[in-house]
Amino acid sequence: MNTKWRPFLQKVVQGGGIAIVGAGLSLFLMGSGLLSPFYLLPFGVVAYRFSPKVSWISWGVASLLHLALGIKGGFPLSIGSTAFYWELLYFGILSASFVVMVLPGMSVRTLYRFLGGALISSVVFLGLLQVSSGKGEQSLIQQVVQEVLRLYEETATIDGEASLGESLVEKKEEIATFIWYLLLYGGALVGHLILVSVNYFLARFFDRSSSPKGAVFIGRFTVPPGFIWLLSLSLLLLVLGAFFNVSVLQIAGGNGIVVGGFVYLVQGMGILVYLSSHPAFPGFLRTLGTVLFLVALFIPGINVIPLGICIILGIAETWVPLRVPYTTGSSSTPGM
């Protein structure tokens, strides 16, 4: 073998091996159940730890393996059905969007890549749910609701509350319809925003560059000032849609409010992280505050308080600078 080709071939073999491992790990996580929300993480790790090109190769391999598993009967959707192809399209678009999100050096701001990828993935996801129900068949939502209610009915029977479980099972169609409208009016979009944000946040820990990671990254997150107009317009569309009973306006307004609320929530969290990182802020209070904040997020009813505070802080920073740079040394002003 010509020695000048050896480094190139070694690089190709190494990159191909990494891409295959990343693709296999992604599919493994997707089918693992509890860890399935993290199946996008391997693409981000490959992009940050190795190279974006290898991440794209890993995405291509994962898509082909996904198709092969589907053909062999790895999916509950029947081969050749419209829903089967929609599921393949959904996996391809969501994972490709995530690869685009983690690519460095792009002219398009990461926030806009996030919103665009989550929006497109949400539309395809809703399309998948819509086409999954044929004539006389249950939709994917109805299947999930039926399975959850079945488990609840078994638990209720053991606890002596069989009548409550039976009444919920009788209303499974109403519950499925409610979930569909919840997804349509912003639930699908906020779910995808959370999904890609968590995977992106974890993937950044593998970034070899000097870019900020962890809490430092959140503390520096800022929303463009003009974004407040999107939130205002969305609220107007929602009100007009409700007043004139126009569903399209209500859906557009609801999803716009979800987007605005989410980005301002993250900005509000960044403000709290930045303020708590002040050198004069006691370390034990920072730790205690973080623990209490995380605990409050998982308490129904109580979680509205920290979430609302973060959103209000995020919106307020549009007009009031809340993250004023601080110095760690002595003041240059005499007497201060």
Domain extents for the chain?
Answer: 212-324
User: How far, in Å, CA of 50 to CA of 109, rounded?
Assistant: 22
CB atoms within 10 A of CB 21: 14
Please report the pLDDT score of residue 208 as a whole number: 75
Please report the pLDDT score of residue 306 as a whole number: 92
Please report the pLDDT score of residue 160 as a whole number: 53
Q: What are 280-285's contacts with CB under 8 Å, separation 24+? A: none
Please report the pLDDT score of residue 335 as a whole number: 36
The parts of the chain modelled with pLDDT lower than 70 are 1-10, 72-81, 133-139, 142, 144-145, 147-170, 210-215, 326-336
List Cβ neighbours of 288 (8 Å cut-off, separation of 6 or more).
none
Single pTM value for the model: 0.84
Give yes or no for a contact between 259 and 189, defined as CB atoms under 8 angstroms apart: yes
Q: Which regions of 55-160 does DSSP assign to beta strands (E)?
A: none
Report the alpha-carbon angle 50-55-59, nearest 5. 155
